[in-house]
Structure 1
Amino acid sequence: MPSTLQVSSDNGVVRIVLDSPPVNALGAQMMIELHTVLTGLREDPQAKVIVFSSANREFFSAHVDMGIGEQMDVLQWLAAQAPEGVSVFQVVGELIRNQPQVTIVKLAGKARGGGAEVVAAADLAFAALETAGLGQIESLMGIVPAGGGTQYLRQRMGRNRALEIVLTGELFDAKTAAEYGWINRAVPAVDLDAFVDRVARNIAALPEGVIAGVKQTLPPEDLTPGFALEQKSWAALIGRPEVQRMMAEALAKGAQTVEGERDLEGLMRSVTP
Structure 2
Amino acid sequence: MAERWPQRTRVMGVINLTPDSFSDGGRFDRPERALAQAKRLVSQGVEILDLGAQSTRPGAEDVGAELELQRLLPALKLIREAIESGELRCVARGEHQEPESPLISVDTFRAPVAEAALQGGADWINDVSGGRRDPAILPLVAEAGCPYVLMHSRGDSQSMDSLTDYGDAGVVDGVLSELQRASDRAQSAGVRCEQLVWDPGLGFSKTTEQNLELLRGLPRLRAEGIPLLVGPSRKRFIGAVLNEPRAKARLWGTAAVVAQCVSAGVDVVRVHDGGPIVQVARMADALWR
TM-score of Structure 1 vs Structure 2, range by shorter chain: 0.3 to 0.5
Taking structure 2 as the reference length, what is the TM-score of the superposition?
0.32
Larger % of helix: which? Answer: 1
TM-score, normalised to structure 1, is 0.33
